[in-house]
Amino acid sequence: MRFKNTDGKPAFSDILGKLRMRLGIKRSDYRVNPGLYALNSPGAGSPVLVSANYKLSFDVLRAAASDLDAWILVLDTKGINVWCAAGKGTFGTEELIKRVKKSGLSKYLSHKTLILPQLGASGVAAHKVKAKTGFTVKFGPVEAYDLRKYLENGQKCDEAMRTIRFPLAERLVLTPVEMVLSWPLLLGSLSLSVLCALISGGLPVFLSLLSLSVLAILTGTLLVPALLPYIPGSSFAWKGWITGLISSVIYLLLAGISSAVFIAGALFLFPAISAFLALNFTGSTTFTSPSGVKKEMLYAIPFCVISAAAGLVFLFYFAFRGFSL
């Protein structure tokens, strides 16, 4: 088995690829081949960094270690990032043991240490890897950009490097994918707007409903993630609902809509959409527990469904009776 050479410089296609991933276009198909890579020109004493075969993960690591000589061992995680793959078990003990043996890694090295990203720990049992391969697994920093500091520090993490955070930039970078994934809701809203406009009301009703829909979707997928720490409460559905309510009320006031039936319909439907989308954002966060999500879903999903159904009843009643806005 041989290794492939690489460096830390991103090619133009890597930048395009990154953009494509952030927009969620064919996201399941962005991979590098698993195996051993030589970053710059590593020697027998160089560190071994273990990564996933999601190309975005590999590129982040390459870029962070661009001025280092290191070995990169890429596991076959089916094109999934380290954190999610560790949860699914593909960034896992078995795969790491297999890959260490298959790559013939030890013949290039004078040491027996593997450095894994900390977030790989939920898939990899360090003691089992040690028993099967003789390699000591060290869990490095959560973020690749701390790697240099970690290595200079004698392969030791401080508390900050071990702690996962979720700053604004990281929350926002995830929102385009959330928006793209919400297309069925947009399609549904569009049909509702067209339908209500055709039944009666015409263009003003169409525009009002479409604006409210887009606003509700943007609230759930962009505004809530952006303002996450500042919206009171801890339940995501609640955060989505209250923010959705405020944004809908602001729109209704600004648009000067006075039909009580339309207002009732809008306030039952649109905050429920924002609540549902905000609840979905739990899957992208770095601090929500499955037990918590399950607890929340138990009341939030029925609430959203019933509230949205009530909203639709009001809006269709509004349209069929031919009320004006």
Partner 1 sequence: MRYLKNVSTLTIDRKKCTGCGMCAVVCPHRVIKIAERKAWIIEPDLCMECGACAVNCRENAVSVKNGTGCAYGMIKAKLKGSSEECECDCC
232 binds partner 1 (CB under 8 A): no
301 binds partner 1 (CB under 8 A): yes
164 binds partner 1 (CB under 8 A): yes
Residue 122: alpha-carbon gap to chain centroid: 18
CA atoms within 13 A on the CB side of 104: 5
227 binds partner 1 (CB under 8 A): no
- What is the closest distance, in whole angstroms, from the C-beta atom of residue 120 to partner 1 in the complex? 9
Among 18, 20, 27, 132, binds partner 1 (CB under 8 A): 27
323 binds partner 1 (CB under 8 A): no
303 binds partner 1 (CB under 8 A): no
Among 78, 88, 132, 149, binds partner 1 (CB under 8 A): 88
284 binds partner 1 (CB under 8 A): yes
User: Would you say 253 or 298 has its CB closer to partner 1?
Assistant: 298
156 binds partner 1 (CB under 8 A): no
Candidate ranges 184-192, 255-263, 283-291, 307-315; the one touching partner 1 (CB under 8 A): 283-291
**Cα separation of the two ends of the chain:** 72
- CA–CA dist 225, 184 (Å, integer): 20
43 binds partner 1 (CB under 8 A): no
Site residue total, partner 1 (CB under 8 A): 52
User: Would you say 163 or 324 has its CB closer to partner 1?
Assistant: 163
Candidate ranges 11-19, 40-48, 218-226, 280-288; the one touching partner 1 (CB under 8 A): 280-288
Structure tokens at 141: 């920093």
A 10 A CB-CB count for 17 gives 16
CA atoms within 13 A on the CB side of 165: 10
297 binds partner 1 (CB under 8 A): yes
User: Would you say 204 or 290 has its CB closer to partner 1?
Assistant: 290
- What is the closest distance, in whole angstroms, from the C-beta atom of residue 84 to partner 1 in the complex? 4
The residues in 1-20 that bind partner 1, with binding defined as CB under 8 A, are none
Do the bridges between strand 35-39 and strand 70-74 make them parallel or antiparallel, or are there none, so unpaired?
antiparallel
Candidate ranges 1-9, 22-30, 186-194, 316-324; the one touching partner 1 (CB under 8 A): 22-30
299 binds partner 1 (CB under 8 A): no
User: Would you say 287 or 320 has its CB closer to partner 1?
Assistant: 287
97 binds partner 1 (CB under 8 A): no
Candidate ranges 107-115, 122-130, 249-257, 314-322; the one touching partner 1 (CB under 8 A): 122-130
- The β-bridge partners of 74 are 35, 51
Contact set with partner 1 (CB under 8 A): 24, 27-28, 80-81, 83-84, 86-88, 93, 118-119, 121-127, 139, 142, 159, 162-164, 166, 177, 181, 228-229, 234-235, 279-280, 282-297, 301
